[in-house]
Every structure is written in structure tokens, then in C-alpha cells.
Chains A and B, each alone.
Chain A
Amino acid sequence: MSMYILSSDEISQLVTELQASYAVYGPQVEPQTRQVFFDLINDATALDLEAPIPSMPVKEILFPQMERILKYKYDAETQSVEMARQYFEQPKVLFGLRPCDLAGIQALDRFFLGQEFVDDVYLTHRRQCLLISNTCLHPFPQCFCVCTHSGPDADEGFDLDLTKLADGYLVKVGSEKGRALADAHNWTPAKPQQLSEQKAVVDKCIDLFPDMATDNKAWVSRVMNRITTGFIKSETWEYIGDQCLECGACSFVCPTCSCFNIEDAQTECGECERLRTRDSCSFEGYARMAGDHNPRQPVEDRRNKRFFCKLSYSQSKKYLRPGCVGCGRCQWVCPGDIGLPNVVQYIRREITGGEA
């Protein structure tokens, strides 16, 4: 793997340069609220590579909350139809992805592009996309990527990977696209001690994780085993289900949740748009069919479906990793107390008989 060392100025130059041919997205801190958003960068100085993980996962750019996939116009008089595929196509750079979000994109890639069918809407977004990841120097509140093998540094899936060291950014090349970018520049090659320095930075970050996260590490795989084999008492699912308000927030902030709904909406000029909107398996109407037959009734049944999706071997086979990337966003947003790390705790408590 080729490695270079870039100064902060060179990083800014790279951003400006990429803006000429790409829409460049990156972490920015909103001045009033101090919230972090991974958004389109208009001014290269707004990019903040030291910002905490963004509130919304970066999947928003590749798999938006709502997007038009088709447009048509039906004329009932002449019984004719005009129809066209229509979605937002633009080359994009995701600059400064946190490793958890990168792992989320890899999971979505394997799901949308690697199964029997290819999802052409996602493919359109993804194929012209450049991924530049950014190693975390310290964990943020709720982070537990050390348990799910998705941080604090990335080891695959990026085009370029950045790590902030004492004297600039260590840049690793991870793909052909990244290689081409490096070849087009006269970047300073990194020295071997800078690679050791990067390793030390990552080790230091791992040491800073709270005990609960590191302590849970082995438990995530034990819980996966339990969930896969189905040896979890229905009381535990009921306890979890009792806390679910069915708001769907966990699905919307999850970097790997990919369920969507499709709806045809009339526009003002007599045209129709087919919209694809994100959906959540926690909603009561998720599986309801016309005629009101709903095969999934109780909330705990729907809850365990979600955790099955995140933490079972059969789902992990689709993603080639656990469905959870340890970003902890579900824990932030859940109005109950059933973010994924807590669910692991509840199941752990069941296994140990309440000891831990």
C-alpha cells in the first residue's frame, strides 16, 4: 500500500481541486447548534476533519431519505403514457468519512450491488463516487466500533484514507481510483516511522474507549450466536418491545438500514413521480397488505426482526460483516433505552442470569 504525508494546506488544495469535477461532501459544524452534518462543501475552509461523527449517517448521500426514481405522465384521453427514469446523477466525493460510516457504505454496497439483483438507483450514485476516510483519534460519546470491527481506523473499502499525525496527514491509497489521484500529484512519500506513529495513534484511541464498549466486545459475538440460534426468551424481546415507541429513528440514523418504500405522487402539472423513501421495519404498517391482513402484529415481534437483521449470521453473510457498525447513533436517538449496545446488554443479562 502506498503512503504519503500531506500538510493541512495540501488537504485543502485537494478539496478545492476535487470540487472542479465532483460534488464534494464532508463534515461541517453548524455554528449555531454545534451539530455536525456531512454535507455539500461550498467553501473548502468549512471542512472540519476534527469534527465528531455527524448526526446523520453518510448513507444520506447515496441512499437519500426521499428520492425520485421515475417520472411519468398519463393521458387518460389518448390512453398514452410518457415515462422516463430520472434521478440525481453527479460524481461525488465523500471527504473525511468516519470509519463506521465507511463500513456502513460497504455493507450497503454488498447488499444493493452484491445480491441476485443489482439496484440500479444505488449503483448510479455509487459508481461515480470517491471515498476518503478519516481515522478517529478518540472515541466520541456512545461509540463502540471496537466491538463491531469497524474502527477507529479503516482497513479496506476506501479510495484514500487519512490519519492526522503530529506533522500532517498520513494518506493511504486503497484503490485504483485513489492510486490515480496520488499519481496525479507530487505528494511526499511517508516514512516508515510515520506508519508506526499511525499505529500508535490508533492504539491510543482504542485505549480511550469506555470500559463498557471494550467489555462488550466478546459479548457482541455471543449475542449474535444467541440471536441466530433463536435462544432468546420471549420475555427479553417483550422487555425490549415495551420500550419501542415505533418512531423509526433507529432505522433512519443507522448506516446499514436499507429498507425503503415506493410511492407514486402526483405533481401539480398532471405528472407523476415515483418516489423511493426510507422505511422502518418498526412501523406497524410495514408488512400490512391491502385488505388489512398484517402478518407482523406485536411490536416485540417487529423489534426482534430489526435486531435479527443487525446481529445474525445469516444477515451478516449478506454484508460480510455484522449489520451493526458501532456508531452508536441509535443509542442517541432512541426515546426508549433500546439502542443496539443496550440490547446487547439486555441479552447479556439474560445469558448471565442478571449478573453482569
Chain B
Amino acid sequence: MSNCHGNHEHGNCKTTGLCPIVTFPEVVNIDEIRDEIPEVKTFYLSFPNKDVEREFRIRSGQFIMCTVFGAGEFAVSLPPSPENDRFHISVRAVGKVTHALHALKPGDKLGVRGPFGNGFPFDEIKGKNIIYVAGGIGLIPLRSSIVHALQHREDFGRIILLYGARSSKDLMYQPDIKVWQENAGFETFITIDRAEEGWHGETGYVNQLIEKAKVPVDNSVAFVCGPPVMFNSVIGEFLKRGMSEDAIISTLERQMKCGIGKCQHCAVGRTLVCTDGPVYTYRQIKTLGEQI
């Protein structure tokens, strides 16, 4: 199962079983840049090469390697839904390459390799309740799955979002959230750490929302993504309520250089996050023997 996009004619795919975009970056154009929250911007991208654009298909939960020319390459999760969504990435400026990315303007070019990784289960969880739990920018990798699930609303039971951030300024994807809150088939619970003027929603931490949302544990899956401290408290709460370890799913983040299982920087336990992950169940995470 190589990560080819189907059109085997355009490159070394035939001889090596490798689609060129896996190892050779494809140029993309930055169409639009949006400020999300402090330090986080969303970049809307398009492929000048329309053949590649047609063949470039993603699964929720996968990631790409993104080149900022002159600075380097970084791994970034994909927030767009696999169907009918604009191709974009949301990135916090933390290191050398991501700061260089934030300095770019519309019309600048980036390089893209991928998509890589296993992605979130979709067909396997049909008929179940889905609980999304996100903290801060942990909503970025979950967005893809959320939008995809809402596009196939009839395939699932209850769909619940528990989302928390430090303050109202730190809530990602606010236009999306407004749309989601008006969607009768989507139960959204949003909290910020401390009360603020003008904030009428919940206050406190995300794990407290589990009680409030009356989260079902039977026939449910939980997708959890956020800082380690949030992750641990949320998992503790779910396990206390009797949720199965296989039903708690998260996506791991690691230093990555190649994306194709060769550089070994993302080795965790006996697995590589780039090819065996980044999506793991809590039962798997427990056996990895490393910090989240």
C-alpha cells in the first residue's frame, strides 16, 4: 500500500511503486491567508498543476510535509474534509520554519509532499456516537473528521463536540463554530478556562464538559486531541465512565523529517508515527511506553 494518488503514469511511480509527490515536493500557491487566533494563521492553498490537484486525495487525520522555500520542511495535519472542502492548513508560529511561513503573503509558493499516515477510522465507526474532544489548537486535526462526519450525518448516532481554550480569543475556527452551533444534529459544548466579560458560554476545563454533555459511553468513539495535561484528564474521565480503551482515539505529534518511515525521528515504542500513526487508540498509546 504505497501512498500513490492513482495516476501511475506521471513519474517514477511505475518503476519504484512511488508517486513522485511522496518524495518530491509539489508546488502549491497560497491563495488566501486568514488570521485565526494569536500566532495561528490558516493558509488556503491550491495546486497550479491541475492533474496533481485531481489526484491529491486525503483521508481525515492524515498529514502532509510542507516546504517553506529557503527555510525547510515541517509536518502539519490536514484540517479540510476529504470531500468538498477548500485545501488548507492551519499553523501556529513556533519554530524557524513556521515563523518563515507566517511571513509569507498570498501568491507565494509552498512545497507539499503527501498525504501521509493512516488517518482516522471512518467506515468502521458508522452507526456509533462520536464525541470530539479538543483543547486549543487540538481542534485543527479534528476539523477534517468533524466536517466529514457532518457531511454524512445520517451514518452516525449522536455527534458531540467538547471544545475548550484558554480564552475566547483562543478559540479556533470561529466561523465554523458558529455554523456548527446552529446545526441541530451537532451538539457543541464550548468552554474557556476563566469567565470573561461578554462570554455567556461555559467556563472551566474540557473534562468537566463530559458530565455536562451526558456523554454516552456505549456504542461510542471519542476523538481526543489537545495538550498532554488535557489529554490525561479527559482519558481518565472516559475510563472512569467505563469507555473501552479501543474507543478512545487520538493523534500523536512527533518530530518528522521524511514522512515515509525512513528517517526514524518519529519512532514511538515499536511504531513510527508517520506510517503506523499518527492516529492511535488509547490501548495502543498505553503500550508505546513514551510520553504523549
Contact = CB atoms under 8 A, between A and B. Distances in A.
A112 B262 contact: yes
Contacts of B151: none
Nearest to B259: A117
A272 B95 contact: no
**Which of A117, A123, A279, A286 has the most chain B CB atoms closer than 10 A to its own CB?**
A117
A178 B197 CA distance: 80
A260 B260 CA distance: 12
B288 to A, nearest CB: 10
Interface stretch (B10-18, B78-86, B170-178, B229-237): B10-18
Contact of B94 (A70, A72, A281, A290): A290
Given A81-B27, A81-B109, A296-B290, A262 B73 contact: yes
B166 interface: no
A186 interface: no
A117 B2 contact: yes
B290 A262 contact: no
Contact of A264 (B73, B253, B255): B73
Given A259-B264, A260-B263, A289-B255, A118 B70 contact: no
Given A72-B69, A272-B69, A290-B74, A115 B261 contact: yes
**Which of B22, B96, B255 has the most chain A CB atoms closer than 10 A to its own CB?**
B255
B201 interface: no
Contacts, number: 110
B107 interface: yes
Nearest to A308: B270
A79 B108 CA distance: 5
Interface residues of A, number: 42
B74 A70 contact: no
A332 B284 CA distance: 38
A302 B97 CA distance: 26
A208 interface: no
Interface in A72-96: 72, 74, 76, 79-81, 83, 85
A305 interface: yes
A297 B262 CA distance: 22
B150 interface: no
B203 interface: no
A79 B94 contact: no
A211 to B, nearest CB: 34
B108 A76 contact: yes
Q: How big is chain B's contact interface, by range? A: 35 or more
A119 B262 contact: yes
A180 B73 CA distance: 44
A262 B258 contact: yes
Contacts of A72: 69
B264 A314 contact: no
B91 to A, nearest CB: 10
B257 A118 contact: no
Given A85-B24, A291-B95, A295-B254, A279 B263 contact: yes
**Which of A70, A72, A281, A295 has the most chain B CB atoms closer than 10 A to its own CB?**
A295
Contact of B262 (A81, A260, A272, A281): A260
Main secondary structure of the interface of A (DSSP, over half): mixed
A254 B94 CA distance: 34
A287 B111 CA distance: 23
Interface string A270-293: 001010000101000011111100
A183 interface: no
A50 interface: no
B2 A262 contact: no
A289 B254 contact: yes
A252 to B, nearest CB: 15
B107 A281 contact: no
A263 interface: yes
A117 B18 contact: yes
Contacts of B179: none
Contact of A262 (B3, B18, B94, B263): B263
A314 B268 CA distance: 13
Contact of A259 (B25, B74, B265): B265
A10 interface: no
Contacts of B3: 117
Interface string A94-125: 00000000000000000110011111110100
B219 interface: no
A295 B290 contact: yes
B70 A261 contact: no
B69 A288 contact: no
A271 to B, nearest CB: 10
A221 interface: no
Contacts of A295: 254, 268, 290-292
Nearest to B267: A305
Contact of A81 (B69, B255, B263): B69
A2 interface: no
Interface string B103-120: 000011101000000000
Contacts of B111: 81, 83
A55 interface: no
A81 B69 CA distance: 8
Interface of A: 70, 72, 74, 76, 79-81, 83, 85, 111-112, 115-121, 123, 258-264, 266, 272, 274, 279, 281, 286-291, 295-296, 305, 312, 314
Interface of B: 1-3, 12, 16-18, 22-25, 27, 67, 69-74, 94-98, 107-109, 111, 253-255, 257-258, 260-268, 270, 275, 290-292
21 contacts: A72-B69, A74-B69, A74-B109, A83-B24, A83-B27, A117-B2, A123-B16, A259-B263, A259-B264, A260-B257, A261-B263, A262-B72, A262-B257, A262-B258, A279-B263, A289-B253, A289-B254, A290-B97, A295-B254, A295-B290, A295-B291
